[in-house]
Amino acid sequence: MDAPAPIPRGGLIEGAYREHSRKVLATLIRLLGDFDLAEEALHDAFVAAADRWPREGVPGNPSAWLVSAGRFRAIDKLRRRARFRAMEPELAEQIVSDAEEGEEMADAVIKDDQLRLIFTCCHPALPQPAQVALTLRELCGLTTEEIARAFLARPPALAQRIVRAKARIREERIPYEVPELSALPERLDAVLRVIYLVYNEGYSAHSGTELIRADLSAEAVRLGRLMLDLLPQGETMGLLALMLLHDSRRDARTTPDGEVILLADQDRTLWDRALIEEGFGLIDRAFATRQIGPYTLQAAIAAVHTRARTADETDWGEIVGLYDVLMRASPSPVVRLNRAVAVGMHQGPQAGLALVNALLEEGDLSDYHLTYAAQADFYRRAGDKPAARQAYEQALELALQEPERRFLQKRLQELGEGGGGTS
């Protein structure tokens, strides 16, 4: 549930909220054992800070101060609501004991609480849509309205999804902990998958009027950085590198009017070199760990595109080779489609067309608009205008995202005038 009243405005408190609120919330959830009570406590802590900090100064450890303030106010609320005596005696005793810890909470403890919260929000017992919504709500601090708007959902329905997820965590006693080492790879995969789902929705929205939702992809990158800080595994590095390399092209992917610009046609001087260099460094670190998985391989593919000074200099042979490795590590129809596009760029449109047609004949991705867009582009490059038109029309019928629909309509109008590639 969202905060019951706005946090008092002002540069000092707003800045502290941005810096500390998610860390403090994670610890309050651990101490109080309840998401909603912890959110109320977080709100109350910042109200107290707004009252005291301007007069007394910011404490040396703001996060610990806020945890302490929120925790004591939560206990007061429990007593006032006459719920304290009805609670499990052990839980009541634990809350009081924790409250007596004072303000000496170490930063390392708070950091561990964030890691615990990520694994709780992404627990496999929760449906994936609930994992995404809960992660954005609790770890990113987005309101239910903001999450609903990002995923084109109705706010009441989104709110119910979050409520049900919290109830399931409580009723099934889903542990608030980092998994044991033996279970960590599988559970880490679930966390990284949720982060990448959030990023992809921001990078290329599935539907709506805008291709890019920068705020959503920025939240995913922030989560990726947090995961890297908390758990520096090879695939964590690979995922963050992949997101950064894609994000480096954001300003070049659309016109000022929001129209799609394909990768081959982008102004590469607009690519963000700082993000690119950070991504390259993360890829090197990921390969050095020898924990090379699908995200690291996808990042390596993105790096080949990024290193090319022009589209014509792209090393498509290297990209095909990386896709061959990715197919062994994480086979999927989408990977097959992307490999088919790379083969078509490397060996010619007929070679790519044969692979795309095979995918369609097998029934894989037959309802995915990008499959037909790739097929259409190969037909267009091969000079088969009637087949290209039919494929573009099929892609247009399936596409939900308005800039992509306008791009496909433009292709239908301009068949034979060249161009092609990915965005």
What are the boundaries of each domain within the chain? Answer: 11-105, 108-178, 183-306
Output the pLDDT for position 6.
52
pTM of the prediction? 0.75
Torsion of CA 314, 215, 296, 207, to 10 degrees: -70
Q: Interhelix angle for 89-99 vs 62-80, to 10°?
A: 140
The CATH number fitting domain 108-178, selected from 3.40.50.450, 1.10.10.10, 1.10.3720.10, 1.10.1040.10: 1.10.10.10
CA angle 147, 152, 153 (to 5 degrees): 70
Token look-up 């005793």 returns 93
pLDDT tens digits for 334-385? 999 999 999 999 999 999 999 999 999 998 788 889 999 999 999 999 999 9
CA of residue 118 relative to chain centroid, distance:
12
Please give the structure tokens belonging to residue 338. 């992307």
pLDDT tier for residue 96 given thresholds of 50, 70 and 90:
low
Output the pLDDT for position 229.
86
pLDDT tier for residue 179 given thresholds of 50, 70 and 90:
confident
pLDDT tens digits for 283-327? 999 999 998 999 999 999 999 999 999 999 999 999 999 999 999
Tell me phi and psi for residue 362, to 5 degrees.
Answer: -80, -10
Torsion of CA 231, 288, 272, 422, to 10 degrees: -100
pLDDT tier for residue 103 given thresholds of 50, 70 and 90:
very low
Pair 170, 192: CB distance under 8 Å: no
Question: Closest Cα to residue 125, out of 170, 155, 184?
Answer: 170
Output the pLDDT for position 254.
86
Pair 365, 371: CB distance under 8 Å: yes
| Alpha helices (runs of H) in 33-154, residue ranges in sequence order | 35-56, 62-80, 89-99, 107-121, 128-138, 144-150
pLDDT tens digits for 30-47? 888 889 889 999 999 999
Output the pLDDT for position 318.
97
Question: Closest Cα to residue 323, out of 289, 344, 297?
Answer: 297
